[in-house]
Protein backbone atom coordinates (compact mmCIF):
# COMPACT_ATOMS: atom_id res chain seq x y z
CA UNK A 1 0.00 0.00 0.00
CA UNK A 2 3.01 2.16 0.41
CA UNK A 3 3.03 2.82 -3.29
CA UNK A 4 -0.03 4.99 -2.95
CA UNK A 5 1.71 7.26 -0.50
CA UNK A 6 4.51 8.06 -2.89
CA UNK A 7 3.75 10.33 -5.75
CA UNK A 8 7.18 10.23 -7.37
CA UNK A 9 9.75 7.55 -8.07
CA UNK A 10 12.45 6.81 -5.54
CA UNK A 11 16.03 6.69 -6.77
CA UNK A 12 18.67 4.78 -4.86
CA UNK A 13 22.20 5.49 -6.08
CA UNK A 14 24.45 2.61 -5.02
CA UNK A 15 28.03 3.81 -4.51
CA UNK A 16 31.01 1.94 -3.10
CA UNK A 17 34.58 0.96 -3.80
CA UNK A 18 35.52 -1.71 -6.30
CA UNK A 19 34.68 -5.11 -4.88
CA UNK A 20 32.21 -3.89 -2.26
CA UNK A 21 29.42 -5.86 -3.92
CA UNK A 22 27.32 -3.01 -5.32
CA UNK A 23 25.97 -4.92 -8.30
CA UNK A 24 25.16 -8.06 -6.34
CA UNK A 25 23.42 -6.01 -3.69
CA UNK A 26 21.51 -3.97 -6.28
CA UNK A 27 20.04 -7.17 -7.72
CA UNK A 28 19.24 -8.81 -4.38
CA UNK A 29 17.82 -5.69 -2.73
CA UNK A 30 15.75 -4.91 -5.81
CA UNK A 31 14.24 -8.39 -5.79
CA UNK A 32 13.55 -8.07 -2.05
CA UNK A 33 11.73 -4.76 -2.59
CA UNK A 34 9.62 -6.23 -5.39
CA UNK A 35 8.67 -9.23 -3.30
CA UNK A 36 8.22 -7.57 0.07
CA UNK A 37 7.02 -4.07 -0.78
CA UNK A 38 5.11 -4.78 -3.96
CA UNK A 39 6.87 -1.95 -5.76
CA UNK A 40 7.84 -1.90 -9.42
CA UNK A 41 11.63 -1.83 -9.41
CA UNK A 42 13.80 -0.72 -12.33
CA UNK A 43 17.57 -1.07 -12.67
CA UNK A 44 20.02 1.42 -14.16
CA UNK A 45 23.62 0.46 -14.90
CA UNK A 46 25.97 3.45 -15.01
CA UNK A 47 29.15 1.35 -15.07
CA UNK A 48 30.71 1.29 -18.55
CA UNK A 49 33.15 -1.34 -17.26
CA UNK A 50 30.55 -3.84 -16.01
CA UNK A 51 31.20 -7.33 -17.35
CA UNK A 52 27.80 -8.74 -16.56
CA UNK A 53 25.06 -7.82 -14.11
CA UNK A 54 22.86 -10.20 -12.11
CA UNK A 55 19.88 -7.94 -12.90
CA UNK A 56 18.50 -7.04 -16.31
CA UNK A 57 19.26 -3.30 -16.71
CA UNK A 58 16.30 -1.21 -17.87
CA UNK A 59 18.75 1.56 -18.73
CA UNK A 60 22.32 0.57 -19.51
CA UNK A 61 25.11 3.02 -20.10
CA UNK A 62 26.98 0.32 -22.04
CA UNK A 63 24.55 1.02 -24.89
CA UNK A 64 26.59 4.20 -25.40
CA UNK A 65 30.02 3.38 -24.03
CA UNK A 66 32.04 0.42 -22.77
CA UNK A 67 35.52 0.47 -21.26
CA UNK A 68 36.57 -2.37 -23.54
CA UNK A 69 35.66 -0.38 -26.65
CA UNK A 70 37.43 2.74 -25.34
CA UNK A 71 40.56 0.66 -24.65
CA UNK A 72 40.52 -0.76 -28.17
CA UNK A 73 39.52 2.33 -30.12
CA UNK A 74 41.68 4.84 -28.30
CA UNK A 75 44.59 2.55 -27.47
CA UNK A 76 44.33 3.30 -23.75
CA UNK A 77 45.29 1.12 -20.80
CA UNK A 78 42.68 0.11 -18.18
CA UNK A 79 43.31 3.15 -15.95
CA UNK A 80 43.05 5.67 -18.75
CA UNK A 81 40.13 3.90 -20.41
CA UNK A 82 38.10 3.91 -17.19
CA UNK A 83 38.45 7.66 -16.85
CA UNK A 84 37.84 8.29 -20.56
CA UNK A 85 34.70 6.16 -20.55
CA UNK A 86 33.28 7.94 -17.51
CA UNK A 87 34.03 11.22 -19.30
CA UNK A 88 31.95 9.88 -22.20
CA UNK A 89 29.10 8.96 -19.87
CA UNK A 90 29.23 12.49 -18.50
CA UNK A 91 29.08 13.95 -22.02
CA UNK A 92 25.99 11.82 -22.81
CA UNK A 93 24.26 12.22 -19.46
CA UNK A 94 21.35 14.03 -21.12
CA UNK A 95 20.39 10.94 -23.11
CA UNK A 96 20.96 8.63 -20.14
CA UNK A 97 18.82 10.77 -17.84
CA UNK A 98 16.07 11.04 -20.43
CA UNK A 99 15.82 7.24 -20.50
CA UNK A 100 15.81 7.11 -16.70
CA UNK A 101 13.06 9.73 -16.54
CA UNK A 102 10.96 7.58 -18.86
CA UNK A 103 11.05 4.50 -16.61
CA UNK A 104 7.62 3.71 -15.22
CA UNK A 105 8.89 2.37 -11.92
CA UNK A 106 8.28 3.13 -8.26
CA UNK A 107 11.81 2.37 -7.17
CA UNK A 108 14.86 2.82 -9.36
CA UNK A 109 18.17 1.28 -8.35
CA UNK A 110 21.10 3.10 -9.92
CA UNK A 111 24.30 1.06 -10.03
CA UNK A 112 27.46 3.18 -10.41
CA UNK A 113 30.97 2.60 -11.79
CA UNK A 114 33.02 -0.17 -10.20
CA UNK A 115 35.48 2.40 -8.86
CA UNK A 116 33.53 4.75 -6.59
CA UNK A 117 35.93 7.63 -7.14
CA UNK A 118 34.91 7.69 -10.81
CA UNK A 119 31.51 8.76 -9.54
CA UNK A 120 32.19 10.61 -6.27
CA UNK A 121 35.34 12.44 -7.41
CA UNK A 122 34.39 13.04 -11.00
CA UNK A 123 31.97 15.64 -12.27
CA UNK A 124 29.57 12.95 -13.57
CA UNK A 125 28.44 11.72 -10.14
CA UNK A 126 27.25 15.05 -8.68
CA UNK A 127 25.75 16.05 -12.07
CA UNK A 128 23.69 12.85 -12.41
CA UNK A 129 22.72 12.81 -8.74
CA UNK A 130 21.41 16.38 -8.90
CA UNK A 131 19.24 15.50 -11.91
CA UNK A 132 17.85 12.38 -10.23
CA UNK A 133 16.88 14.50 -7.23
CA UNK A 134 14.77 16.61 -9.58
CA UNK A 135 13.00 13.52 -10.94
CA UNK A 136 12.04 12.13 -7.55
CA UNK A 137 13.25 11.28 -4.06
CA UNK A 138 16.92 10.44 -4.44
CA UNK A 139 19.41 9.11 -1.95
CA UNK A 140 22.73 7.33 -1.98
CA UNK A 141 23.67 3.99 -0.51
CA UNK A 142 27.38 3.99 0.35
CA UNK A 143 28.43 0.36 0.47
CA UNK A 144 31.59 -1.08 2.02
CA UNK A 145 32.80 -4.61 2.50
CA UNK A 146 32.44 -5.33 6.22
CA UNK A 147 36.11 -6.41 6.29
CA UNK A 148 37.12 -2.74 5.86
CA UNK A 149 35.72 -1.96 9.32
CA UNK A 150 38.23 -3.94 11.37
CA UNK A 151 39.17 -1.27 13.94
CA UNK A 152 37.08 1.48 15.52
CA UNK A 153 38.94 4.18 13.58
CA UNK A 154 38.59 2.24 10.33
CA UNK A 155 34.88 1.89 11.05
CA UNK A 156 34.72 5.65 11.68
CA UNK A 157 36.26 6.31 8.24
CA UNK A 158 33.32 4.50 6.63
CA UNK A 159 30.86 6.80 8.41
CA UNK A 160 32.94 9.76 7.28
CA UNK A 161 32.71 8.43 3.73
CA UNK A 162 28.93 8.50 4.04
CA UNK A 163 29.18 12.17 4.82
CA UNK A 164 31.60 12.72 1.94
CA UNK A 165 29.09 11.02 -0.40
CA UNK A 166 26.28 13.17 0.95
CA UNK A 167 28.22 16.41 0.52
CA UNK A 168 29.40 15.54 -2.98
CA UNK A 169 26.20 14.04 -4.39
CA UNK A 170 23.93 16.49 -2.52
CA UNK A 171 21.44 13.80 -1.55
CA UNK A 172 21.05 11.98 1.79
CA UNK A 173 23.46 9.06 2.07
CA UNK A 174 23.16 5.87 4.09
CA UNK A 175 26.23 3.76 4.81
CA UNK A 176 25.78 -0.01 4.77
CA UNK A 177 28.25 -2.81 5.25
CA UNK A 178 28.03 -5.64 2.75
CA UNK A 179 28.93 -9.30 2.98
CA UNK A 180 27.38 -9.44 6.43
CA UNK A 181 27.26 -13.21 6.10
CA UNK A 182 31.06 -13.39 6.29
CA UNK A 183 32.99 -14.22 9.42
CA UNK A 184 33.96 -11.18 11.49
CA UNK A 185 30.74 -9.30 10.77
CA UNK A 186 29.51 -9.79 14.36
CA UNK A 187 32.37 -7.76 15.84
CA UNK A 188 31.39 -4.84 13.66
CA UNK A 189 27.71 -5.19 14.50
CA UNK A 190 28.04 -3.48 17.88
CA UNK A 191 29.56 -0.32 16.35
CA UNK A 192 26.99 -0.41 13.56
CA UNK A 193 24.06 -0.61 15.96
CA UNK A 194 25.37 1.85 18.51
CA UNK A 195 27.33 5.04 17.81
CA UNK A 196 27.93 5.09 21.55
CA UNK A 197 29.77 1.75 21.48
CA UNK A 198 31.91 3.09 18.65
CA UNK A 199 32.80 6.18 20.67
CA UNK A 200 33.78 4.08 23.67
CA UNK A 201 36.02 1.86 21.57
CA UNK A 202 37.57 4.83 19.79
CA UNK A 203 38.61 6.14 23.20
CA UNK A 204 40.57 2.94 23.77
CA UNK A 205 42.62 3.50 20.61
CA UNK A 206 45.74 5.56 21.27
CA UNK A 207 46.62 8.76 19.42
CA UNK A 208 45.15 12.13 18.61
CA UNK A 209 43.71 10.97 15.30
CA UNK A 210 41.44 8.50 17.05
CA UNK A 211 40.47 11.28 19.42
CA UNK A 212 39.62 13.48 16.47
CA UNK A 213 37.68 10.63 14.85
CA UNK A 214 35.69 10.40 18.08
CA UNK A 215 34.91 14.10 17.92
CA UNK A 216 33.73 13.80 14.36
CA UNK A 217 31.54 10.80 15.18
CA UNK A 218 30.03 12.80 18.05
CA UNK A 219 29.27 15.68 15.69
CA UNK A 220 27.72 13.30 13.17
CA UNK A 221 25.60 11.69 15.90
CA UNK A 222 24.36 15.09 16.96
CA UNK A 223 23.17 15.84 13.46
CA UNK A 224 21.74 12.30 13.37
CA UNK A 225 23.16 11.71 9.93
CA UNK A 226 24.19 8.24 8.89
CA UNK A 227 23.95 7.14 12.51
CA UNK A 228 22.51 3.71 11.81
CA UNK A 229 24.64 1.48 9.64
CA UNK A 230 22.90 -1.70 8.53
CA UNK A 231 25.01 -4.79 7.98
CA UNK A 232 23.51 -6.43 4.91
CA UNK A 233 23.99 -9.63 2.99
CA UNK A 234 22.96 -10.21 -0.61
CA UNK A 235 23.23 -13.94 0.13
CA UNK A 236 20.89 -14.17 3.12
CA UNK A 237 18.90 -10.95 2.77
CA UNK A 238 20.04 -9.97 6.26
CA UNK A 239 19.64 -6.26 6.97
CA UNK A 240 17.39 -5.54 3.97
CA UNK A 241 14.39 -4.71 6.12
CA UNK A 242 16.47 -2.32 8.24
CA UNK A 243 18.00 -0.71 5.16
CA UNK A 244 14.60 -0.26 3.55
CA UNK A 245 13.17 1.26 6.71
CA UNK A 246 16.05 3.76 6.96
CA UNK A 247 15.55 4.79 3.33
CA UNK A 248 11.83 5.07 3.85
CA UNK A 249 12.34 7.32 6.86
CA UNK A 250 14.67 9.56 4.86
CA UNK A 251 12.30 9.82 1.94
CA UNK A 252 9.21 10.44 4.00
CA UNK A 253 10.62 12.68 6.66
CA UNK A 254 13.62 14.56 5.43
CA UNK A 255 13.26 18.13 4.44
CA UNK A 256 16.32 19.93 3.26
CA UNK A 257 19.11 17.55 4.12
CA UNK A 258 21.48 18.94 1.56
**Strand intervals (E) in 87-168:** 107-111, 137-145
Q: Is 215 in the site for its own copies (CB under 8 A)?
A: yes
- Residue placing its CB nearer to its own copies in the complex, 40 or 154: 154
Q: Is 206 in the site for its own copies (CB under 8 A)?
A: yes
66: region left, alpha or beta (phi > 0 left; psi from -120 to 50 alpha): beta
Q: Is 213 in the site for its own copies (CB under 8 A)?
A: yes
CA-nearest of 170, 192, 191 to 254 is 170
List 6, 17, 64, 69, residue binding its own copies (CB under 8 A):
17
List, in sequence order, every residue forming a beta bridge with 10; answer none if it has no partner: 107, 137
The pattern of x and - marking residues 130 through 169 that bind its own copies according to CB under 8 A reads --------------x--xx----xx-xx--xx-xx-xxx-
Q: Which one-letter DSSP state was computed for residue 146?
A: G
**In the complex, minimum distance from the CB of residue 189 to its own copies, in angstroms, rounded to a whole number:** 20
Q: Is 59 in the site for its own copies (CB under 8 A)?
A: no
Q: Three-state SS for 15?
A: strand
Distances (CA, A) of 164 to 63, 153, 251: 30, 16, 20
Residues 29, 32, 33, CA angle at the centre, nearest 5°?
A: 90
**Strand intervals (E) in the chain:** 10-15, 41-45, 59-60, 107-111, 137-145, 173-178
List 118, 176, 234, 247, residue binding its own copies (CB under 8 A):
118
Q: Is 221 in the site for its own copies (CB under 8 A)?
A: no
List 12, 109, 116, 175, residue binding its own copies (CB under 8 A):
116
Q: Three-state SS for 130?
A: helix
Q: Is 228 in the site for its own copies (CB under 8 A)?
A: no
Q: Is 182 in the site for its own copies (CB under 8 A)?
A: no
- Residue placing its CB nearer to its own copies in the complex, 3 or 150: 150
Binding site for its own copies (CB under 8 A): 17-20, 47, 49-51, 67-68, 71, 76-83, 114-118, 121-123, 144, 147-148, 153-154, 156-157, 160-161, 163-164, 166-168, 206-213, 215-216, 219-220, 222-223, 225, 256-258
Amino acid sequence: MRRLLLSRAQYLIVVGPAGSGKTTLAAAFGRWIEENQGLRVAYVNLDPGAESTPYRPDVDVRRWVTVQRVMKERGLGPNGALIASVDEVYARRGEVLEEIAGLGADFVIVDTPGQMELFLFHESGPAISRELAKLGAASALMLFDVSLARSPSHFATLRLMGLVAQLRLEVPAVVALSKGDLRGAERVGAWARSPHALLEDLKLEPGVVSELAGRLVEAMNEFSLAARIPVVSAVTGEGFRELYDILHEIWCACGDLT
